[in-house]
Amino acid sequence: MVTNIKPSKPRPAVGLEIVQNRLLASLLPADRALIEPHLEFVELAQGTSLFEPGDDVTHTYFPSAGTMVSFVLVMRDGRAVEAATIGREGAVGGIVSSGFKPAFARAAVQIPGSALRLGLGQLDEAKQRSATLRDLFSRYADVLLAQVLQSVACNARHSLQERCCRWLLTVHDRVAADQIALTQEALSEMLGVQRTTLTAIARRLQAKGFIQYSRGRILIKDRPGLERESCECYDAVSTHWERVLPEVKPQAVTQ
């Protein structure tokens, strides 16, 4: 069930918000014209659930710069672990399917901010009318799946410190800022570990000068250092993205 989503009044200029989402900004003008009239600006509060497992997904969300959503799998005992992270580079919900779209995972807002929301009926109609739009979303689904698959291997084979560095690098890319508003509780949940274990790792990374941690915030101080400490999973996903979606990059909206 969707909670804590507030439509903006008055509505901001959608064109400016499109620029902040890399997937939307890469659209051809003709494709953008198919969906732009139907885009709705919304504010997403931290902890918002865009959909829960089993829900019929009704909207696609395109996070703006600074907003981050995670696909989270919840176990029977209540513990949760993250499967994928989506920010300004992509979209959440109903990417390739049509008709009934039951969600498999929870889509939870980890870092609050704005997003553009599009009804899946409008998205499906636009994809039917445009082969290039269908192709773009299909390729995005491919790189999203690659992130999920790499996460499975990473969780099984790599140390917590390597996984933590990979996750921080991923979030750094998504929020486009050195300071990340994130609690240790949230980070430990995403990595599927106890908070005390995560605290020890965070202190170790801080002692090396890679990050600075204060209550509820993490400052990235040495990104190259995090890259050296990270496993190969970050590079593997990034390289696949560059091969499959080379045009999805920050750019101005073409008029």
**Cα–Cα distance for residue pair 114/68, rounded to 1 Å:** 10
**What is the per-residue pLDDT across 130-159, written as a single tens digit (0 to 9) for each?**
999 999 999 999 999 999 999 999 988 999
Among 3.40.50.1100, 1.10.940.10, 3.40.50.261, 2.60.120.10, what is the CATH number of 5-129? 2.60.120.10
Would you say residue 9 has pLDDT above 80?
no
Burial class (CB in 10 A: 0-12, 13-18, 19+), 13: exposed
> Any bridge partners for residue 139, and if so which?
none
**pTM, two decimal places:** 0.88
Task: Identify which of 66-80, 98-112, 177-191, 229-243 has the greatest average pLDDT.
Answer: 229-243
For CATH 1.10.10.10, the residue range(s) in the chain are: 155-239
1 vs 114: CA distance, rounded Å: 19
pLDDT in tens, 46-101: 889 999 999 999 999 999 988 999 999 888 887 788 889 999 999 999 886 665 67
The token pair that represents 98 in the structure block: 């049509």
Whether the CB-CB separation of 249 and 27 falls below 8 Å is answered with no
Question: Does domain 155-239 fall into CATH 1.10.3720.10?
Answer: no
What is the distance, to the nearest Å, from the Cα of residue 52 to the centroid of all Cα atoms in its chain?
16
| Distance between CA atoms of residues 14 and 24, nearest Å | 11
Q: What is the mean pLDDT of residues 116-133?
A: 94
Q: What's the first-to-final CA gap in the chain, in angstroms?
A: 37
pLDDT given at position 252: 39
Buried b (16+ CB within 10 A) or exposed e, 206-244: eeeebbbbeeeebebeeeebbeebbbebbebbeebbeee
- For the chain, residues classed under CATH 2.60.120.10 are 5-129
Residue with tokens 């109609």: 125
